[in-house]
Amino acid sequence: RSKRRGRGQITVYSQEIAQEMKRATQLEQALRNAIIANEVDVHFQPIVDLRNDAVVGFEALARWCDADLGYVSPAVFVPLAEERGFIESLAETLLRKAAHAALSWPKELFLSFNLSSAQLMDPATSSRLLTIINQIGLDPRRLELEITETAVMADAETAQKIVTELRAAGVRVSLDDFGTGQSSLGRLRDFSFDKVKIDRAFVSRISVDRASEHIIKAIVSMCEGLELQVVAEGIEDFSEALKLKALGCGMGQGYFYGKPADAVATMRYLSDRYRGVAAQL
Ligand code: C2E
Ligand code: MG
Ligand code: MG
Ligand code: MG
């Protein structure tokens, strides 16, 4: 790039911005097409009971690999769908696939599904989600919805209404990425949740600094008092798992227990696990 200041630089920046916009639009078009073609997929990551390592449910995670663009992270395409106003159709495709897959699992396992902030700002969300799982035949008591503090904060009143309606129908709600947003404690008091998911940032530092250990300990004890379940996210090795167990954390999720896998691999994972359980009986 030229060292010259002034007009030249402005041209470089505006070209970069134009490039960026072009890429976003290309991404948007490809994503819209992928949704229509039913090519956006959903993978599942196990959530386990840390006391006995039994699988208790799976989190659904959106997956999209475009022929030209390659793998695109949901952290990129979910916000894009929100911005461009088609999160609803993306979410519907994903929930349909996820709920359908969950029908093949043992009935005691739950399905955890992420809600985006735009969905939490739309009062029609609760009835839309309930209609979908009703059509598919998934018991609402097997569904859990993950929401973040940031999403709740965007429109707290509407979010509260949606959460109340869903919980009245038997759906459980968990607070995702706990510890990373603002006003965490206030949210816990004002909102009715069932579960808290401790962000991976704390879990991944548990072996290197004592502070994270103390923070997790405090979250666990607070959740006990509030009668909330606790899940630790991002457990990557055995020593982290042992530490979290020792801290009294009830549930865990992470590469140590299983990476997100497609519906077929998930059935295989379950059949291996359940064969083990049957052999013990
Ligand atoms: P999240 O809901 O907090 O999901 C957890 C993320 O951590 C996932 O990334 C998962 O693959 C990753 N992860 C799980 N265990 C480990 C571990 O042991 N180590 C490490 N390093 N990572 C781990 P992913 O799938 O890339 O999703 C990123 C985010 O995108 C999600 O964060 C969620 O906010 C969003 N997202 C994914 N799928 C959906 C969806 O269907 N709908 C909505 N609204 N958002 C979604
Ligand atoms: Mg999540
Ligand atoms: Mg999370
Ligand atoms: Mg996260």
Answer whether 260 contacts ligand 1 (Cβ < 6 A).
yes
- What pLDDT is stored for residue 73 in this prediction? 97
Average pLDDT on 3-20 reads 73
Burial of 202 (0-12, 13-18, 19+ CB in 10 A): buried
217 has a pLDDT exceeding 50: yes
Nearest CA to ligand 1 atom 11: 260
Atom nearest to 60 CA in ligand 1: 41
* Average model confidence (pLDDT) across the chain: 92
Distance 81 CA to ligand 3 centre (A): 19
Q: Cα–Cα distance between 116 and 91 in angstroms, integer?
A: 9
Beta-carbon contacts of residue 48 (< 8 Å; ≥ 6 apart): 54, 55, 56, 251, 252, 253, 257
Instruction: Work out the number of other CB atoms within 10 angstroms of the CB of residue 188.
Output: 19
Distance 150 CA to ligand 2 centre (A): 13
2 has a pLDDT exceeding 50: no
Strand partners, 232: 198, 252
Strand partners, 48: 55, 252
Query: Which ligand is nearest the CA of 198, by number?
Result: 3
- What pLDDT is stored for residue 196 in this prediction? 95
Q: pTM value?
A: 0.93
Kindly indicate the confidence band of residue 208, based on its pLDDT and cuts at 50, 70 and 90: confident
User: How do beta strands 54-66 and 110-114 pair?
Assistant: parallel
Respond yes or no on whether ipTM tops 0.85.
Answer: yes
User: How do beta strands 41-49 and 251-253 pair?
Assistant: antiparallel
Atom nearest to 42 CA in ligand 1: 41
Residue (of 97, 20, 103, 112) closest to 64 by Cα position: 97
Query: Which ligand is nearest the CA of 203, by number?
Result: 1
Distance 32 CA to ligand 2 centre (A): 23
Kindly indicate the confidence band of residue 5, based on its pLDDT and cuts at 50, 70 and 90: low
Answer whether 82 contacts ligand 1 (Cβ < 6 A).
no
pLDDT, tens digit (0-9, with 9 covering 90-100), for 140-185: 999 999 999 888 888 999 999 999 999 999 999 999 999 887 656 7
